[in-house]
Homo-oligomer: A and B are copies of this chain.
Amino acid sequence: MTLDTSKVSIKTSLASLFGKNLYEVDGDQLFLDELSQCAQEVTVREGSYIFKEGDPSDYVYVAISGAIMLERSTSKGVRHVFAFLFTGNLLGLSEFSVYSFSAKALNNVTVIKMNKKIIQSIFDRYPTIAKRFHQFTTHVLHYILDQMFIMGQKTAHQRLAHLILDMAHRIGHGTNRFFLPMGRQDIADYLGMSLETTSRGFSHLKKQGIINIENNYKITVLDSAALKEFADI
């Protein structure tokens, strides 16, 4: 169980988690050495689960590459998608003994898998790292609050516009062309609408000349200002 912390992809992901200048701070190299002892690089194939709702929450994960979907289902089979995660995002930070949702790989995914108990003990000895970690939790809280706001306030098409803007930002990193890793049904279950409404939303934005769609998944934002206006930001 060792982790190559000199690998660029891993560096990038850890930096986005614990702070950009992680490798510059005094004593952090020690932390990284310890981390590499309790961490492990794992690949997960498209469609399979990193962990499932109800599994003992023994590990914390950091996404290195690929796209992950957090979902939960009711006993009656109704599904809800909580989030889409990408490089640098953290999974499984529950304080509870079991995960309260499942994490599904939308494509081939690599993650860093860290033993929660060991990482906890590391945190006890590196309070600066622990603080950064907990700051991350409140950032997540902040993000979810925004998401809740969107869920409550917007019409279905506006919510979709907001998702596209979010994806353009998180996947496209500023460029206006990106590849959606999830299907229409996933988006529908994320935004709380039907599959058909999602599809109509895409079609509508395309007809308006605001976005372009190739092959269902390849999206280009043609008029970013109009999209923002439409999303009512």
Chain A residues within 8 Å of B, Cβ to Cβ: 72, 74, 76, 78, 80, 82, 93-96, 100-101, 124, 127, 134-135, 137-142, 144-145, 147-149, 151-154, 189-192, 232-233
Residues of B within 8 A of A78 (CB): 153-154, 232
**What are 20 A-to-B residue pairs whose CB atoms are below 8 Å?**
A72-B149, A74-B153, A78-B153, A80-B152, A80-B153, A82-B145, A82-B149, A94-B138, A101-B145, A124-B127, A134-B137, A137-B138, A140-B141, A141-B144, A144-B145, A151-B151, A152-B189, A152-B190, A152-B192, A153-B192
Beyond A151-B151, A232-B76, whether A95 also contacts B138 by CB under 8 A is yes
CB-nearest residue of chain B to A148: B148
Residues of B within 8 A of A139 (CB): 95
CB of A44, distance to nearest CB on chain B (Å): 22
Given A95-B138, A137-B141, list of 16 further CB < 8 A pairs? A74-B233, A78-B153, A78-B232, A80-B152, A82-B145, A93-B138, A93-B141, A95-B134, A95-B139, A100-B145, A134-B134, A137-B137, A144-B145, A151-B151, A152-B191, A153-B192
Q: B95 near A135 (CB under 8 angstroms)? A: yes
Residues of B within 8 A of A137 (CB): 134, 137-138, 141
CB-nearest residue of chain B to A72: B149
Q: A144 near B144 (CB under 8 angstroms)? A: yes
CB-nearest residue of chain B to A232: B76
Select one of B76, B96, B142 contacting A100, CB under 8 A.
Answer: B142
CB-nearest residue of chain B to A93: B138
